[in-house]
Amino acid sequence: MKSIQIDVPEGTNIIIGQSHFIKTTEDIHDALVNSVPGIKFGLAFCESSGPRLVRCEGTSEDLKKLAAKNALEIGAGHCFVVYLQGTYPINVLNDLKNVSEICQIYCATSNPVQVIIVESGQGRGIIGVIDGGSPLGIETEKDVQERRSFLRKIGYRL
């Protein structure tokens, strides 16, 4: 077992998941461009049979390269990595969950991420992820007000 630190640059979000078919690459591409007009994203998918390549799609070459680098580092068959810029995962997650070959979403975040993998003679698999840090306490009434204010500021509550 080992953990792999994933790059999540400032201003980006990442979604990591598991799928089951090479068609995933184009289907995720379609789901994302249909979710948010003008979306900027990069996607990489680890093929687990045949030539076993990291397959890439996206609307941003920089994000595609970042996704490919991190997907190759994870190296688990049929996993995918999506980087988003200028939008939040909440805007695309339901559409991704409706992609028929997606089996699992491990995380959707802008936090630092570690992917916990296990390796056998056959290959690698994702056990889970560590998304950000552990809680430092329980929110106070002031924290509640700040949270609610933030959600309204970014347009997710009226």
Residue 96, CA distances (Å) to 2, 89, 141 in order:
27, 10, 35
Q: What are the tens digits of pLDDT across the range 33-47?
A: 999 999 999 999 999
Q: Which domain holds residue 146?
A: 2-153
- pLDDT string in tens for the chain (158-residue length): 999 999 899 999 999 999 988 899 999 999 999 999 999 999 999 999 999 999 999 999 999 999 999 999 999 999 999 999 999 999 999 999 999 999 999 999 999 999 999 999 999 999 999 999 999 999 999 999 999 999 999 888 88
Give a yes or no: residue 120 inside a domain: yes
What's the confidence (pLDDT) of residue 30? 97
Residue 122 covered by a domain: yes
Q: Strand pairing partners for 18? A: 79, 104
The CATH code of the domain that includes 28 is: 3.40.1520.10
How much is the pLDDT for 154? 86
Residue 53 lies in a domain: yes
Contact 40, 59 (CB under 8 A): yes
Other C-beta atoms closer than 10 Å to the C-beta of 51 total 7
Counted domains in the chain: 1
Q: Which residue has the tokens 């996993």?
A: 79
Q: What is the pTM of this model?
A: 0.92
Q: Say if 32 falls within a structural domain.
A: yes
- Which residues, at least 6 apart from 109, have a Cβ–Cβ distance to it below 8 Å? 8, 13, 14, 89, 131, 132
Residue 158 belongs to some domain of the structure: no
